[in-house]
Amino acid sequence: MLTISPTATEAIRLLVENAEAPESAGIRIAAGEPTEQGTPLELALVDSPEPGDEVIAADEATVFLEPQVAPYLADTILDAQVSEGEIAFALHDSDPATPASRNGSTPDE
């Protein structure tokens, strides 16, 4: 299951709060349009999950995973970096023995 870091939890909470979104709001991670390099992930602030989405809650933050991408993010950590009002999200493998961090792409099916 995707793990949400404390920094990402706070970033999501702030996004929802600043957007004056409902309590059910969160960020949704879904597959983008496939490219030659793979399928990028898209992140969006949404009011509620889509049917079939996997819902992951951490304190006051909620992440919705599109069913197609959920298996690829099972052993990852969603992290965030906040700098000068900008938020950058990143996915990292939760297994420190894995050499590379995920770059936001899923393998083509």
Among residues 24, 25, 29, 52, the alpha carbon closest in space to that of 39 is found at: 29
Domain count along the chain: 1
In-domain check, residue 103: no
What number of other Cβ atoms are within 10 A of residue 96's Cβ?
7
In-domain check, residue 72: yes
pLDDT of 107 > 50? The answer is no
List the strands of the sheet with 3-4, edge to edge: 3-4, 76-83, 86-93
Domain range for 7 is 3-95
In-domain check, residue 27: yes
In-domain check, residue 107: no
What digits encode the pLDDT tens for the residues 23-62? Answer: 889 999 999 999 999 989 999 999 999 999 999 998 889 9
What digits encode the pLDDT tens for the residues 81-91? Answer: 988 888 999 99
pLDDT of 101 > 50? The answer is no
Separation CA 84–CA 72 (nearest Å): 31
In-domain check, residue 88: yes
* CATH number of the domain where residue 19 is located: 2.60.300.12
In-domain check, residue 23: yes
Instruction: Find the helix or strand (DSSP H, E) in which 11 lies.
Output: helix 6-18
In-domain check, residue 47: yes
In-domain check, residue 101: no
